[in-house]
Structure 1
Amino acid sequence: MNLGQVWAKGAVAGALAALALPAPLGAQDIRPGLSVRDLPRPGYETGRWQAGNTTFLPVLTVQSVWTDNLFATSTDPKSAVIFGINPRIDAISRGRRLTLETSAYANVALHSRYTTEDRVTFGLGTAGRRHLGQTGALKFGLRMDRGAQARSDPEASPTLERPALYNSFQVRLGAEGDAGPLRIGADGSIQKVNYLASGESDPVERARLEDQDLTSYQLPVRIGWRASPRLTVYVEPFVNRRDARLPVDRTGIDRDLTTWGAQAGAQLDIADRWNGSLGIGAFRSNPDDPSISGYSGFSMSGNLVWSPDPRTRVVFTGFSGDVATVRSGATGRIDTRAGVRIEQEIRHNLLAFAGIGWQQTRYRGSNPDRLWSVPVEAEVEWLMSRTLSLFGTVRHENRRSDLASDRFKRTDIGVGIRVRT
């Protein structure tokens, strides 16, 4: 397929996606203040439609991205242009005691030179909160996604014929409530991931994809003490369980394991200045396979938002913990990530976003390996009208590794439009 055919297919798909959007019903803010994009902006209010007590926000994004290393390889990088069509609709329903948030999306990626990389992904999910009295609540959620494994994923095989697709299903159920200055909450989840190995002709690669099928169970319990109206300190013990679909993988290893741990931290809610939480602690992973020894590590999770002024937002994120792996020779994997993202309204209709991160993956086993990278990205969006905006993006990542085959450099540059009707 040549580039002209890619653009033609993209135009048709974009038109169909636009026709699928419902007719406008009215305007109302969904969640003010969550992002610079959501700030009050007279004359440029995003398209939001009202039907009863439900508000809808439909968005259609069309973009082209040039990448200089499509397959994220250490040698002989291949460049390509990727045409993307991304319709999405979010909805929120607010009742007297029940709040529901629902989202549906689709991502179509068409490649100018390597059509085997073309893919369609999509998802649908809803999350609810049922208030119980003044201080208690039940939380629940359902989610389904058809995803594609990125070529840059450390678990992705470089010899796959096309990006691996998978189905993911998740169920969440939790509760929280106050007892004087104490606040107790639990948020359990079950997630099932199934890779679509039947599309791969190589039996070795099919077996590798089947090894990644698993079911995960997570149960964190947070016990907090309200030190002040704006500060809550907490401890959060947790247990995670991973059950692979196959009893043993292609190398004869049982990948099932149980991870225990705990974090201590603080949750901030200082007016419009600081919001979010940060916890640090430790974990212990115990594999079911008697030939694999257990291991411990540093645990961290957090998301803090700092708003020095109404038109600036700085988001700090962090994570460290045990992660599933099917790499041959690896008996465990520990990921650590940290990042900061800045959102800034430069002018009334000109927005800027920039971020930098640090990522490290450490493998345990007979072939220990470390991968680390510092991704940097930026975006500028010009709001031409209430319904139409133009944007440009740039992203660069340089991944280093103990193994030469895991190293790569990649730069992506993109332009696109967003339509909010």
Structure 2
Amino acid sequence: MRARNRLLTSCVSLCVAIPFATPALAQQTDRPASVLDLVAQEYQPIGIRLGNIRIDPELDARIEYDSNIYAEATDKDDDWKTVISPRLTGTYDAGTVKMTARAAGTFRRFFSFKRENSSAGLADLKLGWQPNEGTSIQGTGGWERAIEDRGDPEARNFQTIGPRRIDVLHGTLNVAHEMGRLGFDAEAAARRLDHVSSIDAERDHAVYSGSARLRYRLSGLVSIFGQGFVNRRDFRLATDTSGINRDATTYGGRGGVAIDPGGTLRGDFGVGVFRFDPSDPTLKGRTGLSVEGSMTFQPTQRIAFTLDAFQGDVATLRAGAIARTDSRLQIGMQSEARHNLRWSLAAFYRRTNFVGTPVKERTIGGLFEAEYLINRLFSVAATVRYGDRSSDDPTESYTRLRGGVELRVRF
């Protein structure tokens, strides 16, 4: 069992180890992932079982107020919206082989600003094979219709048309192998972003990523690792509107510590360097600090503290920028106040540096959620999110508050 936990940690840590190579897309679920297991069995969904197959239907329905729907510095527009999010997950578990299929949608409808309405969705398939306790192979592929959030650093600022819609095709292959104290993980991934609107054609690109990690176990829970990574960005158009070739390769390495799940402290954290090499001969390469980490401290069964950190190269299409570096930090707390009442609180900081321009942006904010479980099928939740961005470009600064109530259905 411990070996399986180690393999799971390896897969998860490797998935988050590759630095972000594309602009951030809007989350299709607006909820922080829970790190706590619900204690009371009577509140856990049963799902639908068909032999080795389990099907889990879910539905969230939310009404939310947004104080600044366009993330504007002045003359802010506010509105109410409904958000309907159905999800369906099917899992086949035959011991050494496990398959998970997902389909989900997020439908946002505004009360007054109808042009901001959006429909997001995803469909993917994950196949895992564990031939023995020391080896795991996992492949994932799928499609997503992502909706750009108006508060993203490079979001569309035209208010006469809706937010950007992006079709994303992705595939990943991961291999993990354990050899006594030594462990090895490797991952290859491809991602293609196709913006639906023709005016965003210069943003269409593919990302090809690879990562390899070698781990050495110091004790039953603690390992040290060394890791190398490479990302290649290949834009569909040869140049953007300014005549610059945006293709680039980013590579680098990190070293750090990984702690297996099951203990009071778990997760991993790595620090290293990255090298950004643009394909355009008129642009200069650059070297920077690379940080990636996600840690959870759970002193008791009912409370947990989380830390997520990132710094590295991110793709950019901002006019005049030759590169972009993001630094992000989020600190959170999750708790089960009672067997059917849980809540989470988080504060975050993001700093975006557009290299080649004087523009730097700093965003601070927080989120809060409380969920009350009525019974096995239904729960209600209240959510609040706040963001405050300051920028060297005054037109890019904004404050934004979003809050709502939600009904959640689990079968």
Same fold, judged at TM 0.5 (above): yes
Shift of 1:130: 1.0
> Whole-Å Cα distance in 1 between the matches of residues 401 and 34 of structure 2?
26
Cα-to-partner distance string for 1:319-356 (whole Å, 9 max, x where unaligned): 11111111110100011111122211111111111111
1:65 matches 2:64: yes
1:305 matches 2:296: yes
* Partner of residue 99, structure 2: 100
Show structure 1 runs of 4+ deviating over 3 A.
34-38
Shift in alpha-carbon separation, 1:128–1:368, aligned structure 2, 3 A: farther
1:184-333 to 2 correspondence within 5 Å? 184-198=184-198, 206=199, 209-269=200-260, 271-333=262-324
Q: What is the RMSD of the two structures over their aligned residues, measured on CA atoms? A: 1.4
1:124 matches 2:161: no
For structure 2, the 5+ residue unaligned runs are 1-32
* Partner of residue 411, structure 1: 401
* Partner of residue 134, structure 1: 133
> Whole-Å Cα distance in 2 between the matches of residues 107 and 319 of structure 1?
27
Shift of 1:49: 2.2
AA matched with 1:341? G
Shift of 1:134: 2.8
Deviates further, 128-137 or 367-376: 128-137
The secondary structure found in structure 1 opposite 2:349 is: strand
> Whole-Å Cα distance in 1 between the matches of residues 265 and 328 of structure 2?
21
Cα-to-partner distance string for 1:346-387 (whole Å, 9 max, x where unaligned): 11111111111111111011x231111112110111111211
The secondary structure found in structure 2 opposite 1:228 is: coil
> Whole-Å Cα distance in 1 between the matches of residues 121 and 37 of structure 2?
24
Shift of 1:389: 1.0
Contact 1:330 1:368 in 2 (8 A): no
Shift in alpha-carbon separation, 1:277–1:101, aligned structure 2, 3 A: farther
> Whole-Å Cα distance in 1 between the matches of residues 54 and 333 of structure 2?
28
Shift in alpha-carbon separation, 1:73–1:224, aligned structure 2, 3 A: same
Cα-to-partner distance string for 1:160-218 (whole Å, 9 max, x where unaligned): 511111100101012121233211110110000000114xxxxxxx1xx1111000011
* Partner of residue 26, structure 1: none
> Whole-Å Cα distance in 2 between the matches of residues 158 and 193 of structure 1?
20
Shift of 1:270: 6.0
Contact 1:317 1:340 in 2 (8 A): yes
The answer to which structure, 1 or 2, has the higher relative contact order (CA under 8 A, 6+ apart) is 2
* Partner of residue 180, structure 2: 180
The secondary structure found in structure 1 opposite 2:395 is: helix
> Whole-Å Cα distance in 1 between the matches of residues 258 and 311 of structure 2?
18
> Whole-Å Cα distance in 2 between the matches of residues 231 and 129 of structure 1?
25
Shift of 1:102: 2.6
Contact 1:263 1:279 in 2 (8 A): yes
> Whole-Å Cα distance in 1 between the matches of residues 181 and 372 of structure 2?
46
Equivalent position to 2:373, from 383, 391, 406? 383
* Partner of residue 164, structure 1: 164
Contact 1:36 1:345 in 2 (8 A): no
> TM-score normalized by structure 2?
0.89
* Partner of residue 73, structure 2: 74
* Partner of residue 112, structure 1: 111
Shift of 1:80: 0.1
Cα-to-partner distance string for 1:41-99 (whole Å, 9 max, x where unaligned): 13322242222112222211000110110100101000100111001122332212112
> Whole-Å Cα distance in 2 between the matches of residues 248 and 358 of structure 1?
33
> Whole-Å Cα distance in 2 between the matches of residues 180 and 152 of structure 1?
47
Q: Which has the larger radius of gyration?
A: 1
Contact 1:193 1:215 in 2 (8 A): yes
Shift in alpha-carbon separation, 1:325–1:36, aligned structure 2, 3 A: closer
The secondary structure found in structure 2 opposite 1:137 is: strand
Contact 2:115 2:162 in 1 (8 A): yes
Contact 1:35 1:313 in 2 (8 A): no
Contact 2:230 2:249 in 1 (8 A): yes
